[in-house]
Amino acid sequence: MSVFILVHGSWHGGWCWRKLSHRLEAEGHKVYAPDLPGHGVDKTFANRITLGSYVQVVSNVIDAQTEPVVLVGHSRGGIVISQTAETRPHEIKCLVYLAAFLLRNGEQMSQLAVEDTDSLIPQHLAFSEDRSYHVIKGSEFLKEIFYGDCEDADIDDAVSRLVPEPTRPIETPLKLTDENYGRVPRYYIGTLRDKAVSPMLQRKMTSAQPCRKLV
């Protein structure tokens, strides 16, 4: 049995892992799905949130465990688990990227996201006047972007929980080394019909930053 820490993506919260958490727990695993700052029940203001803020929350959960963890990141959560692995390499059994941003040292998520011409997000993105946060403009596009094959009840619940996404973390270059981040095994779960992080970008990232296994 393993300890799983599930890191959510942009606009979402730990709540989005609910069904998966129940399945993993039913198999005997221990599961944590924390809300990152400014998401879920956490009300930290967007202009106070950094990538380091995200990493600290995940690191706190890791530090409370008695064994190495499986660290899973979805979408934007990929940059969080990568940077966390740089600071806690010995406490992480492996990294699992679920349709997630898989960056190399010095890269920032915003650059790759803009280059993803197959994603529906860039054309529907709106920033606050001070650029401290960004949202998807037009709730009618949310199903197509995020929830294409989800049940209506799950979509309604998810949409009601979405929050503005802080901008600074995605504009922060990752600082990764072979000695720390590079020693942690990486796995990638790709998605074939993703409209947020497109299959094209997923292939590009896994080619540039190979993983032990691509599913």
Q: What's the helix, strand, coil split of the chain in %, to 5?
A: 40, 15, 40
| pLDDT tens, residue by residue, 135-164 | 999 889 999 999 999 999 999 999 999 999
Residue-level pLDDT at 138: 86
Task: Quote the mean pLDDT of the chain.
Answer: 97
Number of domains the chain contains? 1
Q: Give the pLDDT confidence score for residue 77 in this predicted structure.
A: 98
- Determine the straight-line distance between the first and last CA of the chain, rounded to whole angstroms: 21
Residue at 101: amino acid letter: F
47 pLDDT above the threshold of 90? yes
For residue 98, name the pLDDT band (cuts at 50, 70, 90): very high
Catalytic residue chosen out of the listed positions 75, 82, 119, 198? 75
State the pLDDT confidence band at 57, using cuts at 50, 70 and 90. very high
Taking residues 60-72, report their average pLDDT: 98
Give the residue-averaged pLDDT of 154-177: 97
Q: Sorting pLDDT into bands at 50, 70 and 90, what band is 205? A: very high
Amino acid symbol at 134? H
| pLDDT band at 25; cut points 50, 70, 90 | very high
* CATH code, domain carrying 82: 3.40.50.1820
Place of tokens 């942009």: 10
Determine whether 75 is an active site residue: yes
**What value does the mean pLDDT take over residues 190-214?**
97
CB 210 within 8 A of CB 117: no
Does residue 72 carry a pLDDT above 90?
Answer: yes
DSSP codes, 171-195: GSPP---TTTGGGS-EEEE--SS-S
DSSP 59-73: HHHHHT-SS-EEEEE
Domain limits for position 171: 3-214
CB atoms < 10 A from the CB of 203, how many?
12
Tell me the percentage of the chain whose pLDDT exceeds 90.
99
Is the predicted pLDDT of residue 12 greater than 90, yes or no?
Answer: yes
What is residue 18's predicted lDDT score, i.e. its pLDDT? 97
Interval 180-197 mean pLDDT:
98
pLDDT greater than 90 at residue 14? yes
Q: CA dihedral defined by 102, 43, 35, 167, rounded to 10 degrees?
A: 0
pTM, rounded to two decimals: 0.97
